[in-house]
Amino acid sequence: MRSTGRQADLTTGWEIARPARTTVPPGIDMAGFSIRGDSVTELRAIPHPAVTVVVEFGGHPLAVSDASGRTHSGSLAVGLAFDGINARAVGLDCVQVRVSPVLAHAVLGVPPAELGGTIVALEDLWARDVARLRERLHYAPTWQERFALVDAALSDRLRNGRTVDPEVAWTWRQLQLSHGRSRVGDLATETGWSRQRLWSRFGAQIGLTPKRAAMLVRFDRAIHRLADGHTPARVAADGGYADQSHLHREVRAFTSTAPTAAAAEPWLAADHTAWPGIA
């Protein structure tokens, strides 16, 4: 990971920190967030092609709700292509980890398919390890020491965790490299599997069908380009969409709103600082 030290995101008022280095493999990234003050911060989360883990360690727990009305307070995990998740906090200290679905089973102890798009308490996955990690994060004096604690916890789980089929990992990588434009039939041929077998194994291990995963990867690049000021027409033409209407439908499928409204969400404003190199 690149070291950017500690930076202030003026758009949202969040202080954002990046790790100087980690030992976890590519496919896992993390950033630290602090919110100060007495005002309530409310954000609508935008889906992205990674499993999200949030470890909070301050005096004000993060309150999160999903589209079904289920609520959670505290450290959490959420799967791919979540829907309608809103976060609310009055002051916050947390480390957010983005985990490739290829590595998620090893990190979490369950395949991403078991998470779905819902909120899961991290204690349900890591048991008492969460309380110990939160306490150590709370007393760590610097962000770099906090990142080192999270890095060690993740590395330990990766050493003992389960891996996905090589064919599934390769397919996910190709979807990322092509920005979601690869044809599933062609990928199946390259793996030597039938389309049906790839569909079944990929869905069981990643948590989405290959087609839905491709849509999510394509959407992630498109929404960030829209947030950067590119026109919907240009984003649609460059992103593999048939036309602007196709882009509109897929953005609405992941955000329940129009492209221009989704691109203006504060959630995206911090991404280039928190996750350098993002599409």
Q: Where are the domains of the chain?
A: 6-162, 166-269
Predicted pLDDT of residue 44 = 86
**What is the residue-averaged pLDDT of the chain?**
89
With respect to CATH, is domain 166-269 assigned 1.20.1530.20?
A: no
* Largest pairwise CA distance in the chain: 57
Question: Which of 228, 72, 125, 103 shows the shortest CA–CA distance to 173?
Answer: 103
Percentage of residues in the chain having pLDDT higher than 90: 68
Instruction: Please give the Cα distance from 261 to 255 (Å, whole number).
Output: 9
Question: Which of 29, 21, 175, 177 shows the shortest CA–CA distance to 100?
Answer: 29
Residue 63 gets the label, from left (phi > 0), alpha (psi -120 to 50) or beta, of: beta
Query: Please, which pLDDT band fits residue 116 given cuts at 50, 70 and 90?
Result: confident
Predicted TM-score (pTM) of the model is 0.91
CATH of domain 6-162: 2.60.120.10
Instruction: Please give the Cα distance from 160 to 138 (Å, whole number).
Output: 26
Q: For 21-61, how does the pLDDT look when each residue is reduced to its tens digit (9 = 90+)?
A: 989 999 999 999 988 767 777 888 899 999 999 999 987 77
Predicted pLDDT of residue 66 = 82
Residue 9 has pLDDT above 50, yes or no: no
Query: Please, which pLDDT band fits residue 99 given cuts at 50, 70 and 90?
Result: very high
Predicted pLDDT of residue 6 = 37
Q: For 148-182, how does the pLDDT look when each residue is reduced to its tens digit (9 = 90+)?
A: 999 999 999 999 888 899 999 999 999 999 999 99
Predicted pLDDT of residue 88 = 84
Burial 145-183 (b: 16+ CB within 10 A, else e): ebbbbbbebbeebbeeeeebbebbbebbebbbeebbebe
Query: Taking the CA of residue 94 as centre, how many other CA atoms within 13 Å lie in the half-sphere pointing to its CB?
Result: 25
Burial 20-35 (b: 16+ CB within 10 A, else e): eebebeebbbbbbbbb
| Rounded to 5°, angle at Cα 261 from 88 and 95 | 35
Per-residue pLDDT, averaged over 62-88, amounts to 86
Query: Please, which pLDDT band fits residue 11 given cuts at 50, 70 and 90?
Result: very low
Alpha-carbon distance values, 258 to 43, 63, 96, 223, 246 (Å): 17, 26, 27, 11, 12
Predicted pLDDT of residue 67 = 79
Strands (E), 1-60: 6-9, 14-17, 28-35, 41-44, 51-56
For the record, the structure tokens of 197 come out as: 């077998």
The neighbour count for residue 141, using CB atoms within 10 Å, is 7
* Spatial CB neighbours of 36, under 8 Å, sequence gap ≥ 6: 15, 91
Question: Which of 112, 91, 95, 111 shows the shortest CA–CA distance to 49?
Answer: 112
Predicted pLDDT of residue 1 = 31
Distance of CA 224 to the CA centre of its chain: 14
Q: For 67-78, how does the pLDDT look when each residue is reduced to its tens digit (9 = 90+)?
A: 777 888 899 999
